[in-house]
Amino acid sequence: MQCVLPEAPPSVAARATFGGPFVVEAEVNGSRICLDVAGRVRWHRSNGTGTHFGIAFEELTNDETEGLRLLLNAAGRKRGHR
């Protein structure tokens, strides 16, 4: 999953590990899901709009996987209508 923080702490570096939970929110419609798993930063880069980074989550439950899929699908549909 790709994430963006306007002001990322120094701990957001490649290979940094975070314990859960993660709250994932779709920017376009405000939908949220909470994933109670750990994750590891796989890549990161900074530019004028903030720090962009990718997180690889540990194994998700079937419900977490389905909830995340639904959230991403809904966000993609909303963004396409803008």
CA distance 29 to 76: 10
Q: What is the pLDDT of residue 52?
A: 85
Confidence of residue 80 (pLDDT cuts 50, 70, 90): low
Q: Is the pTM for the entire model greater than 0.85?
A: no
